[in-house]
Structure 1
C-alpha cells in the first residue's frame, strides 16, 4: 500500500506540474481539429449513408468533434465554451497518439502514418490505434443509438481496415453482440446525460465506467501487437492500460484544459530499447518522471495480482476521498504557480 500511495502522490505532482506549465495555453485542441468533420454532412454520403473511415485520422477525429458539438448543451451549466465537457479526454488522447507517432505502422512494412502522403493513415497494426477504436467508434455508435445525433444508426457506415476485419465491429447491432457490456455502459452515459436530474459527479461515474469497459476487450484481443514494438514501448502500453483503471477509480475530470495540460507529461515519441527513464535526454524531466511513475504502478499491480487496484478502488469509493485526492492536485498547483 505504501508503494501505491507513493505512485499516487508522484502522479499528482506530475499532473499539477503539467497544468502549471501550460496554464496560459490558448489552443488546447488536438492536432488538425479544425480540419476534421464538424457535422455528419461533412462526411461523404453514399446511398443515404454517411461513410466514415476510422483508419483516416481526421475521419476518426471527426467522430469526436461531432460528439463534442452534440453534447455541448448538456455541459453548458458546468462552464462556458464547452470546456467542462468530459468527452474532451478522448480526442485529446487520440491527438497525442497521432502527434507522437503512435498511430503509424509499427512494423515498417507499409508507409501508413510514416510518410507525408500517408500522414493521416491510421495503421491497423498499431496497438494504440486498435485500442482507441473501441474508445471512438463504440462511443460514437452508442451516442447515435441513444438519439444524441438525431439520426438512425442505419445511416452510419463504418469502413473496415485493410486487414483483420473480423477483430472489429462496424454497426450498433454487431457491436452490441461483440462487446455488449461496453455498448451498454456508453449508452447509459449518454442516456443519463440527457436526464434533467443528471449532475457532474454522476456523469463522471458513468463516463469512467464506460471508458474502463472499453479497454476490457481490446487489451486482451490485441496483445499480439506488443511484438511490433520495443520492449520499453510495449511495457509503457501495458502500464498505460493499467493506469486507466486507477484513474477511473479516482474519477478524474477529463475536461479540456485539465486533459490537455496533463498530456504534457506523456512521452512525445515512441519509446526505443535505449530509453531509460528518468534519463531520456530528449524528454522533459516531467515526461521522464511520468514514465517512472507508470512503471512503478504497473509493477505494483502485476506483482500484487491487482490487489493494489482493489485497495485503491476501496479507498476511492467515497466522494470525500475522491474530493480530497482532487484537492491535492489543486494545492500542488497553487504551490507550483
Structure 2
C-alpha cells in the first residue's frame, strides 16, 4: 500500500463526509432498543414460538436472548457485562443493517430500503450468510435448555421461500455439522462453569468451541453462493475475502466481546461496494474502511499465491494459549494499524510457528 496515497485519502476524508458505519447506540448494538428481552415477548402460534428472522428487530432479538441466557456462564470471559463473544455477532448484524447489506440486491422489492428498513431480504447474500450464525445458534440454545424447558420454536419464512431451515430438527437434518458445533458450544458453557481449570484456560476452551461452531455455520452457507450473482464483482470479492479472514480469527480464538468487536466492525465498508471501487483509493469511504477492504483482499490474495501456505502457517502458529494471545494482538495490528508492515506479519508468523 502506498503511504502517501493513504495520507492523501485521510486528509480528503477529514475535509469531507467520509465516516465509518455506526453499529452502536447508547452503548448497545444498533436496534437494541427495538428488541425483546424475554422469550414470552416473541410471537407465538398454537404454543410454538414463531420469531420472524426476516424482520431486523426479531433477528437482533435472537442475539439479545442468547446473550442474556448465557451471561451467567461467561465469567471466565472477563469482568464486564459485555465480554461474551456473542456480542460480536450482534454488532456484525448491526453493520449489515446500517450498510445496506440486508436489502434486496435485485431491487425488485423495497425490502431493506429507506421505506422498509426493518425488512431483511431472503435474496441478500449477506442476510443468507447471517441466517446461519443467528437462527442456527438460537435454535441450538433453545434445544440445550438455555431459554426455558420444553420450548418449541419455528422460524417464520416469507411466502414462496423454501431454502432456509426453520426448526431445530430441520436445521440438524440439513446442516448436522453446524448444529453439532453450536450444541457443543452451549454444552461446553455449562461444563466450563463446573470445571476447576484456571479462567484463562476456560476462556480459551469456550472461545475455541465458539469459533468451531461459527466456522461450521459458515461452511454451511454454500447454499447462499448463488445470491452473489446479484452484486458487483467488487462486493463479491470483498465478501469472499471477509469470509476467508474468519479463518485467522477462529484459529486465534479471538474474543469478540463488545469492545474488541466494535473496533473490528466499525472500519468495515459503510456501503455495498460498487463497480470500479478499488481499495485503498475509494474516495467516499474513510481511510480506515479502505485499509480494511485492502487488508482482507491482501490476506486472501497472498494465501492464494502461496497455495494456502499463509493460512497453514498461521494455524500451526496458533498452537497454545499463549501463542493465540499473541496472535490476537498481531491481528489487531494488521487489521487496525495502517502503518503496520504486511511483511512483518509474514516474518512474525514464521517465527511463531517455529516455536510450536
Provide TM-score, normalisation by structure 2. 0.81
The residue that corresponds to 1:9 in the other structure is none
State how far apart, in whole Å, the 2-side matches of 1:175 and 1:331 are: 38
Look up the SS of the partner of 1:291 in the other structure: helix
Contact preservation (8 Å) 1:75, 1:82: no
- Decide which of 188, 192, 195 is 1:192's aligned counterpart: 188
- The answer as to 2:147 corresponding to 1:162 is no
Alpha-carbon deviation of 1:328? 4.5
- The answer as to 2:311 corresponding to 1:309 is yes
Look up the SS of the partner of 2:50 in the other structure: strand
Contact preservation (8 Å) 1:50, 1:156: yes
Contact preservation (8 Å) 2:267, 2:292: yes
State how far apart, in whole Å, the 2-side matches of 1:233 and 1:273 are: 8
Q: 1:223 to 1:327 in 2, by over 3 A?
A: closer
Alpha-carbon deviation of 1:306? 3.1
The residue that corresponds to 2:69 in the other structure is 70
The residue that corresponds to 1:110 in the other structure is 109
State how far apart, in whole Å, the 2-side matches of 1:293 and 1:206 are: 27
The residue that corresponds to 1:223 in the other structure is 225
State how far apart, in whole Å, the 1-side matches of 2:309 and 2:166 are: 36
Alignment of 1:66-215 (within 5 A): 66-76=65-75, 78-116=77-115, 118-153=116-151, 155-165=152-162, 167-195=163-191, 196-197=194-195, 199-215=202-218
- After superposition, what is the alpha-carbon deviation per residue over 1:249-289, rounded to whole angstroms, capped at 9, x for unaligned? 11111111110122121001111013221111221111111
Higher RCO structure (Cα 8 Å, ≥6 apart): 1
The residue that corresponds to 2:244 in the other structure is 242
The residue that corresponds to 1:46 in the other structure is 45
- The answer as to 2:30 corresponding to 1:31 is yes
Q: Extract unaligned runs of 5+ from structure 1.
A: 1-20
Tell which deviates more after alignment, 58-67 or 279-288: 279-288
| Pairs aligned (count) | 309
- After superposition, what is the alpha-carbon deviation per residue over 1:44-64, rounded to whole angstroms, capped at 9, x for unaligned? 122112111101111111110
Q: 1:162 to 1:312 in 2, by over 3 A?
A: farther
Q: 1:216 to 1:26 in 2, by over 3 A?
A: closer
Tell which deviates more after alignment, 324-333 or 294-303: 324-333
The residue that corresponds to 2:343 in the other structure is none
State how far apart, in whole Å, the 2-side matches of 1:324 and 1:51 are: 43
Provide TM-score, normalisation by structure 1. 0.86
The residue that corresponds to 1:293 in the other structure is 295
Tell which deviates more after alignment, 321-330 or 281-290: 321-330
Alpha-carbon deviation of 1:318? 2.3
Q: Extract unaligned runs of 5+ from structure 2.
A: 1-19, 340-356
